[in-house]
A and B are shown apart, each in its own frame.
Chain A
Amino acid sequence: MSAEIWASAFSKLMTPSVFLYLAIGVLLGTVIGALPGLSATMGVALVTPVTFWLDRADGFAMLMGLWNAAIFAGGITAILINTPGTPASITQAWDGYPLYKQGKGGLALGINVIFSFIGGMVSIILLILLASPIAKVTIKFGPSEYCLVALFGMTMMVAVSGGKIIKGLILGCVGLLLSTVGLDPISGLARFTFGSTSLKAGVDFIPIMIGMFGLAEVFYQIYEFNKEKDEQEREARKIDLELGRVLPTAKEMRKWTPRCLIVSLVATIVGAIPAAGGDISSIICWGNSKRFSKEGDLYGKGSLEGLAVSSTANNGVIGGAMCTMLTLGIPGDSVTAVLLGSLMMYGLTPGYTMFNEAAEFTAQIMILMVLANITFLVIGLATAKVSAKFLNLSQPTVWAAVSVLCIVGSYCINNRFMDVIIMFVMGIVGLFLKINQFPDGPLVLGLLLGGTVEKNLRTALVISQGDWSCFVTRPISLVLFILIVATFLYPVIKGAVKKKKAVAAGSDAQ
Chain B
Amino acid sequence: MVRKGDTIPGLCAIAIGALTLLYIAVHPKMAVIGKPEYGGVGPGFFPFVCGVGLLILGLALTLRGIRQNGSVDYFAMTPEKKKNMKIAGLLILMCGLMLAAWKVSEAFYVCLPIYCFAVNKLLKRSLLFSIIFTVVVTAFVYVLFSICFTIRFSA
Contacts and interface: CB of A to CB of B under 8 A. Distances in A.
Contacts of B96: 424
Contact of A458 (B39, B64, B91): B39
A396 B123 contact: yes
A490 interface: no
B25 interface: no
Interface residues of A, number: 62
Interface string B93-131: 001101100110000000010011001100111000000
A170 B50 contact: no
Among A53, A224, A458, A465, chain B packs the most CB atoms within 10 A around the CB of: A458
Nearest to A435: B74
B50 A173 contact: yes
A301 B67 CA distance: 43
Nearest to A466: B40
Given A184-B43, A417-B155, A396 B124 contact: yes
A226 interface: yes
A335 B149 CA distance: 25
B8 to A, nearest CB: 8
Interface in B83-99: 84-85, 87-88, 91-92, 95-96, 98-99
Given A219-B88, A408-B145, A454-B46, A461 B99 contact: no
B50 A400 contact: no
B53 A169 contact: yes
B31 to A, nearest CB: 9
A141 interface: no
A32 interface: no
B149 A222 contact: no
Among A397, A408, A435, chain B packs the most CB atoms within 10 A around the CB of: A408
A177 B54 contact: yes
A343 interface: no
Given A403-B95, A403-B119, A465 B36 contact: yes
B57 A192 contact: no
B13 to A, nearest CB: 5
Contacts of B26: none
B7 to A, nearest CB: 10
A210 to B, nearest CB: 13
A286 to B, nearest CB: 32
A461 B92 contact: no
A225 interface: yes
Contact of A186 (B38, B99, B152): B38
Interface string A197-230: 0000000000000000001001110111111000
B30 interface: yes
Given A173-B50, A428-B92, A465-B36, A436 B141 contact: no
A115 interface: no
B80 A226 contact: yes
A420 B99 contact: yes
A464 B53 contact: no
Contact of A408 (B23, B141, B154): B141
Q: How large is the interface on B (under 10, 10 to 19, 20 to 34, 35 or more residues)?
A: 35 or more
A464 B37 CA distance: 10
A326 interface: no
Contact of B57 (A170, A215, A427): A170
B92 A177 contact: no
Interface string A426-466: 01100100011110000000000010001001111111111
B151 A397 contact: no
B141 A404 contact: yes
B41 interface: yes
Nearest to A417: B155
A186 B119 contact: no
A226 B91 CA distance: 18
A143 B38 CA distance: 14
A249 interface: no
B139 to A, nearest CB: 12
B50 A180 contact: yes
A86 B39 CA distance: 46
Contact of B23 (A192, A220, A411): A192
Contacts of B84: 222-225
Contact of B137 (A227, A404, A438): A404
B81 A223 contact: yes
Interface string A459-501: 1111111100000000000000000000000000000000000
B123 A167 contact: no
B66 interface: no
B60 interface: yes
B131 to A, nearest CB: 13
A203 to B, nearest CB: 13
B151 A412 contact: yes
Given A184-B43, A438-B9, A461-B38, 6 more contacts: A176-B49, A180-B47, A215-B95, A219-B92, A415-B152, A424-B99
Interface of A: 50, 53, 166-167, 169-170, 173-174, 176-177, 180, 184, 186-187, 189, 191-192, 215, 218-220, 222-227, 396-397, 399-401, 403-404, 407-408, 411-412, 415, 417, 420-421, 424, 427-428, 431, 435-438, 450, 454, 457-466
Interface of B: 6, 8-9, 13, 16-17, 20, 23, 29-30, 34, 36-47, 49-51, 53-54, 57-58, 60-61, 64, 74-75, 80-81, 84-85, 87-88, 91-92, 95-96, 98-99, 102-103, 112, 115-116, 119-120, 123-125, 133, 137, 141, 144-145, 148-149, 151-155
* 10 interchain residue pairs of minimum CB distance: A461-B39, A466-B40, A396-B123, A184-B43, A53-B149, A462-B39, A417-B155, A177-B50, A222-B88, A173-B53
8 contacts: A167-B9, A191-B47, A396-B124, A400-B119, A404-B112, A412-B145, A424-B99, A435-B74
